[in-house]
Amino acid sequence: MAALRSPIPIEELARSSGEFSTAVGLPPAAYSDPGFFEFEMQAVYEREWICVGRADQIPDPGDFYTITVVGEPFIVARNKQGEVNVMSSVCQHRAMCITAPAQRTPAEWFELPPETSGHGNTFRCPYHWWTYDLDGRLVGAPDMDRTTGFDKSDIRLPRLRTETWQGFIFVNFDAGAEPLSPRLGRLDEALANFCIEDMVTVDPATVPGLPFNWKIMAENFMEGYHPSRLHKGIHDFAPSSGAEYAPYEPGDAALFGAMHAIHPDGGFNPTEKIIFPLIETLTEPERWKIQFAYIPPSLLIGLQPDSAFWFTVQPTSVDSHTLSMAYIFPPSTPQIHLFAEKLHAAIQGVELFNNQDLPTNTAVHAGMKSRFAPRGRYSWQESVLASFNTWLVERYAAADERARAAA
Q: List residues binding Fe ion (CB under 5 A).
A: 357
What are residue 56's phi and psi, to 5 degrees? -75, -5
The distance of closest approach from Cβ of residue 364 to Fe ion in the complex, given in angstroms and rounded to an integer, is 12
Q: Hey, what amino acid is at 359?
A: P
The distance of closest approach from Cβ of residue 350 to Fe ion in the complex, given in angstroms and rounded to an integer, is 10
The strand order across the sheet containing 117-119 reads 84-88, 72-78, 63-69, 117-119
- In the bound state with Fe ion, the residue whose beta carbon lies nearer, of 27 and 257, is 257
3-class SS of residue 260: strand
DSSP classification of residue 161: E
- In the bound state with Fe ion, the residue whose beta carbon lies nearer, of 319 and 357, is 357
CA distance 79 to 135: 6
- In the bound state with Fe ion, the residue whose beta carbon lies nearer, of 195 and 230, is 230
- In the bound state with Fe ion, the residue whose beta carbon lies nearer, of 180 and 243, is 243
Residue of 185, 140, 179, 144 whose CA lies nearest to 162 = 179
Beta bridge partners, 258, equal 244, 291
The distance of closest approach from Cβ of residue 326 to Fe ion in the complex, given in angstroms and rounded to an integer, is 18
CA distance 78 to 59: 8
The distance of closest approach from Cβ of residue 127 to Fe ion in the complex, given in angstroms and rounded to an integer, is 44
CA distance 8 to 227: 32
3-class SS of residue 401: helix
The distance of closest approach from Cβ of residue 233 to Fe ion in the complex, given in angstroms and rounded to an integer, is 13
The distance of closest approach from Cβ of residue 237 to Fe ion in the complex, given in angstroms and rounded to an integer, is 14
- In the bound state with Fe ion, the residue whose beta carbon lies nearer, of 116 and 355, is 355
Contact 353, 234 (CB under 8 A): yes
CA distance 138 to 123: 9
Greatest distance between any 2 Cα atoms in the chain: 75
Residues 6+ apart with CB under 8 A from 298: 45, 50, 51, 312, 313, 314
Residues 6+ apart with CB under 8 A from 157: 75, 87, 88, 89, 90, 92, 98, 132, 136
What are residue 21's phi and psi, to 5 degrees? -70, -20
- In the bound state with Fe ion, the residue whose beta carbon lies nearer, of 286 and 357, is 357
The distance of closest approach from Cβ of residue 356 to Fe ion in the complex, given in angstroms and rounded to an integer, is 6
3-class SS of residue 220: helix
CA distance 52 to 359: 25
- In the bound state with Fe ion, the residue whose beta carbon lies nearer, of 227 and 296, is 227
- In the bound state with Fe ion, the residue whose beta carbon lies nearer, of 63 and 357, is 357
- In the bound state with Fe ion, the residue whose beta carbon lies nearer, of 56 and 357, is 357
CA distance 186 to 150: 51
The distance of closest approach from Cβ of residue 352 to Fe ion in the complex, given in angstroms and rounded to an integer, is 10
The distance of closest approach from Cβ of residue 50 to Fe ion in the complex, given in angstroms and rounded to an integer, is 24
The distance of closest approach from Cβ of residue 357 to Fe ion in the complex, given in angstroms and rounded to an integer, is 4
- In the bound state with Fe ion, the residue whose beta carbon lies nearer, of 219 and 357, is 357
Residue whose C-beta lies closest to Fe ion: 357
